Amino acid sequence: MSGVPAEPDATSSGPASGPASAPASDAGRVAGGAQVAVAITVMNLAMYGFTMSAARLLGPTAYGGFFAVVNLMLIVGVLQLGLQATAARRISAEPAHAEEVAREVLRVSLRAGVLLSGVLLLAAPAVTRLLDLQSLATALLAAVAAVPLTVSGAQAGILQGERRWRELAVLYLLMGVPRLAVGLALVLWRPTELMAFLGVGVGFVAPCLYGLHALRRVRPRGARRDRRSRSLVAETARSSQALLAFFALTNADMLVARVVLDPGDSGRYAAGLLVTRAVLFLPQFVVVVAFPSMSAEGGGGRALVRSVLAVTGLGVLCTAATAALPGLALVFAGGAAYAGIRDVLWLFALLGTATGVVQVLVYSALARPGARSVHLVWAALVAMVLLATTVGSVAGMLAVVLLVDTTLLACLGVAASVGAWRGRGHATPVAPDRRSGLG
């Protein structure tokens, strides 16, 4: 299979050989996409299964603390996603320097993980009080877990940039399956928030250990601080803040809903968002597989169009299915207790479709050196919060978020089209030390 080595470690990514320098054929992309799609689906199902099991086994008090720490790690994980995007883009754009880039990315990720862990360790007492945790040990465990979480992001980005889909799929599987298996056993043994989060921590450590094995040819030797290292740190910071903007946009509506809607409507809106999240996460593999092609010289426009069409197509199918079978969709949105949103569930699916396309366009911006369209995401976040504070119903909240997301989609689409046109007219090779990413 083109682009994927026969054995995980029988390659080296130098100028003349290795996965990073082998262009992926259509068959290779399809096969790689299938592997990653299955792995991400299993990962999400395993995570969902563990979260739902923990909710039942822990009880409201312990589950509240556990869920709060998990959401803290989602925020911490923005750095992981930024490292993954930076590593994948750099390796795809600089295949002749793939091994050097990989080594530098691992070095930076280890430093960043240790620094982030140190900050969380110092903040552990405050986190314990703020999140009303049952013990300081949970906050300390979260601080330690920041290291493997951050490093695994860099490892995933290297495998993604080298188009080693089989190994990347295994990495994704290890993010979810051990969490379900080990975490459920721990919670059954001792149903506390600490044991539940220890299960999550296993889901951080397992992929990191596998990544060390899959990338054992690459070792972050020494402690150089050269121009490449500084530009990589800067690009990671820009990528992380771009993904933070997207993360904030896709989660802020629920926080606003808790403030402006009555408790019943807020709960119904949250249930509807389960459909939105399902439609958003279903085509996640499209972005993972397409991002290296978006970053490669001359291939970004075609990969972007294919990705937008794929995500839109899957989203339209989900929206149509939700409209045709609202009763079945309601089962996945909380059941009969949330029957008040039955007739608008297809709109929540449509919101998931629009958000999925926005995600593709955000990653397209990350793939283009110097793209500044991330500012549009921050502007959309501000607009959504301001408009959402004026509504008083589920339908009104849904209308506002749909309006903001579709407007943002159109603006990002125009920005991507202009960027692709300029790229064709002013294409320049990416130098190893060039500052790149979002401005």
Same domain (yes/no): 82, 199:
yes
Q: Which of 218, 168, 221, 211 is nearest to 11 (CA)?
A: 218
Domain boundary among 167, 189, 224: 224
Asked if residue 117 and residue 265 are part of one domain, the reply reads no
Mean pLDDT over 422-438 rounds to: 41
Q: What is the pLDDT of residue 155?
A: 96
The tokens 């790690």 sit on which residue? Answer: 73
Higher pLDDT, 272 or 42: 42
Question: Residues 294-328: pLDDT tens digits?
Answer: 877 655 678 888 889 999 999 999 999 999 998 88
Helix (H, G, I), strand (E, B) or coil at 145: helix
- What confidence category does residue 170 fall into, taking pLDDT thresholds of 50, 70 and 90? very high
Q: From 194, 224, 254, give the residue that closes a domain.
A: 224
Would you say residue 10 lies in a domain? no
Residues 91 and 159 in one domain: yes
For residue 246, the enclosing domain spans 230-425
Q: How many CA atoms lie within 13 A of 237 on its CB side?
A: 8
Average pLDDT in the 41-68 region?
Answer: 84
Residues 291 and 207 in one domain: no
Q: Are residues 218 and 238 in the same domain?
A: no
Among 167, 195, 224, residue at a domain's last position: 224
pLDDT band at 19 (very low <50, low <70, confident <90, very high): very low
Within this chain, do residues 191 and 246 fall inside the same structural domain, yes or no? no
Q: Is 2 helix (H, G, I), strand (E, B) or coil?
A: coil
Q: Does residue 192 have a pLDDT over 60?
A: yes
Closest CA to 149 of 193, 169, 187, 179: 179
* Same domain membership, residue 85 and residue 203: yes
On whether the CB atoms of residues 39 and 284 are closer than 8 A, the answer is: no
At residue 31, does pLDDT exceed 90?
A: no
Q: Which residue has the tokens 């490292």?
A: 83
Based on the fold, state whether residues 197 and 314 are members of the same structural domain: no
Q: Give the C-alpha separation, 159 to 20, whole Å.
A: 9
Averaged pLDDT for residues 14-22: 39
Do residues 211 and 77 touch, judged by C-beta distance below 8 A? no
Q: Dump pLDDT digits (tens) for 91-149.
A: 988 888 888 889 999 999 999 999 999 999 999 999 999 888 889 999 999 999 999 99
- Tell me if 288 is assigned to some domain: yes
Place 37 in a pLDDT band, splitting at 50, 70 and 90.
confident
Please report, in angstroms and rounded to a whole number, the separation of the first and last CA atoms in the chain: 37
Residue that has been written with the tokens 């082998």 in this structure:
22
**pTM exceeds 0.85:** no
Q: Across residues 398-403, what is the average pLDDT?
A: 94
What's the total number of domains in the chain? 2
Q: What is the pLDDT of residue 370?
A: 61
The residue behind tokens 């990350």 is 366
Quick one: 283 and 218 in the same domain?
no
Shared-domain flag, residues 37 and 174 = yes
Same domain for 393 and 407, yes or no, is yes
